[in-house]
Amino acid sequence: MQIKLAYGKQGLPLSLPDDANVTVLEPAFVPGLPDEAAALREALRAPLNGAPLHERVGAGDTVAIVFSDITRPTPNHLLIPALLAELDHVPPEQIVLVNALGTHRPNTDDELRRMLGDAVVDRCRIEQSDAFDASTQVHLGTTSFGHELWVNRAYMDADVKILTGFIEPHFFAGFSGGGKSVMPGIAGQATVLGNHDAGMIGSPNATWGVTWGNPIWEEARECALRTEPDFVLNVTLNRDKHITGIFAGDLDTAHQAGIDFVRRTAMVPIREPFDVVITTNSGYPLDLNLYQAVKGMSAAAQAVRQGGAIVIASECWDGIPDHGLYGQLLHDATSPDHLLANILSWETPRQDQWQAQIQAKVQQKARVFVYSDYLSDEQLRGALLEPCRDIAATVEALRAEYGRDARIAVMPEGPQTVPYRVPEAASAG
CA gap 387, 381 in Å, rounded:
7
% of the chain residues with pLDDT over 90 = 94
Nearest C-alpha neighbor of 262 from the set 165, 166, 168, 164: 168
CA 66, chain centre distance (Å): 16
Options 104, 147, 196, 255, the catalytic residue: 104
What average pLDDT does range 155-173 have in this prediction?
96
pLDDT at 426: 47
CATH architecture of the domain formed by 2-27+271-428: Alpha-Beta Complex (3.90)
Nearest C-alpha neighbor of 26 from the set 325, 270, 335: 270
pLDDT band, very low/low/confident/very high, at 422 (cuts 50, 70, 90): confident
Options 147, 170, 196, 255, the catalytic residue: 170
pLDDT band, very low/low/confident/very high, at 424 (cuts 50, 70, 90): low
Cβ count near 204 (within 10 Å): 8
CA gap 396, 212 in Å, rounded:
42
pLDDT at 425: 43
DSSP 27: P
Q: What share of the chain is helix, strand, coil (3-state, %, to 5)?
A: 35, 25, 40
Nearest C-alpha neighbor of 62 from the set 160, 153, 137: 160
> Domain ranges in the chain?
2-27+271-428, 36-264
Top-level class of domain 36-264: alpha beta
pLDDT band, very low/low/confident/very high, at 405 (cuts 50, 70, 90): very high
Q: At what angle do helices 290-301 and 353-365 cross, to 10 degrees?
A: 40
Q: What is the sign of the dihedral through the CA atoms of 148, 151, 156 and 157?
A: positive
CA gap 231, 335 in Å, rounded:
45
pLDDT tens profile 292-323: 999 999 999 999 999 999 999 999 999 999 98
pTM of the model: 0.90
pLDDT tens profile 322-361: 988 999 999 999 999 999 999 999 989 999 999 999 999 9
170 catalytic, yes or no? yes
CA gap 97, 83 in Å, rounded:
11
pLDDT tens profile 271-298: 999 999 999 999 999 999 999 999 999 9
DSSP 225: H
What are the strands of the beta sheet with 63-68, ordered from one edge? 125-128, 95-100, 63-68, 160-166, 231-237, 243-249
In degrees, rounded to 5, the angle at the alpha carbon of residue 250 between the alpha carbons of residues 248 and 251 is 95
CA dihedral 400, 330, 280, 214 (to 10 degrees): 120
% of the chain residues with pLDDT over 70 = 98
Contacts of 378 (CB under 8 A, 6+ apart): none
Strand 274-280 relative to strand 366-371: parallel, antiparallel, unpaired?
A: unpaired
Residue 181 pLDDT more than 60? yes
- Are the CB atoms for 223 and 150 separated by under 8 Å? no
